[in-house]
Amino acid sequence: MANVAWIGLGVMGYPMAGHLQAAGHTLTVYNRNAAKAEAWVAAHGKGTHRATPAEAARDADLVFTCVGNDDDLRQVTTGPDGAFAAMKQGAILIDHTTASAGVARELYAEAQSRGLAFIDAPVSGGQAGAQSGKLTVMCGGDADAYATAEPAIRSFARAVRLMGPAGSGQLTKMVNQIAIAGLLQGLSEAIAFAENAGLDVAAAIDTISKGAAQSWQMENRWQTMHDRRFDFGFAVDWMRKDLGICLEEAQRNGSKLDVAALVDGYYGEVQEGGGGRWDTSSLIARLPSNKR
């Protein structure tokens, strides 16, 4: 069991840290809103919280971060109050933020210069996966650091894999988000079409989900999409952040993301309609349907 620091107790980080605690690790937590860190410690009955990332990371073997974006990640890792300033030699920072591959490579190099290790390890599975401990984790970094960190990561993962050198985890997460964007738009159009055609939507989905159209999104979201319920899951605001990262990376590597760019614009329409905190399945809300 390791001494672990956890930095960032949002909707994902809060339950993920809890799984590490339940697995027997000793946790020290930090959150920008200190009340959230205090609440986490109280809810789990043990562990401690600290006032800065550096203080939380001081004696840790493994430091986990799960924050909002590149700038948030730099803020909690670098500078006098950042985790890097206090981490002991040989300690490993595992970052679960969905961020750019560029910042992952930047922080990997900074960690190396300090005698530390850095793994970019974004996750897929959303809030439900974090709560159930069944996330998919895509990692980039050195094999020896990954081998050390993997058992702890498995506390909240059903699948975890080293994808390559620094930045490879973030690039794989981009692949994931590109695939999901097109899939959700297709599912939205399919459900709205079934509604307009007067079909029994439940029967239609039950039938096609046993064929080539089957997907996790279909099995887990078709009913809430049909009911126009979007108050759960991964928010549109965060998906647009992720798709922005994908589109920027595509410009650098020469990829053509026509569908992802189109769906990003559709999510912009959902935001303009007040749905920024709705689940990503809310793409159906912008489509005409005789159900309404």
Which positions are catalytic?
A: 173
Q: 3-class SS at 274?
A: coil
Q: Give 40-81 as a DSSP string.
A: HHHHHSS-EE-SSHHHHHTT-SEEEE--SSHHHHHHHHSSTT
Give the other-Cβ count within 10 Å of 177's Cβ.
Answer: 21
Angle (CA) 265 74 271, round 5°: 20
Among 181, 291, 277, residue whose Cα is nearest residue 225: 291
Angle (CA) 181 244 167, round 5°: 95
Please state at what angle helix 168-196 crosses helix 216-226, rounded to 10 degrees.
50
DSSP class of residue 282 equals: G
Residue ranges in the chain assigned as alpha helix (H): 13-22, 34-44, 53-57, 70-77, 101-113, 126-132, 143-153, 168-196, 201-208, 216-226, 236-253, 258-272
- What is the residue whose two structure tokens read 């990561």? 153
DSSP class of residue 197 equals: T
Query: CB of 138 within 8 A of CB of 104?
Result: no
Give the other-Cβ count within 10 Å of 26's Cβ.
Answer: 17
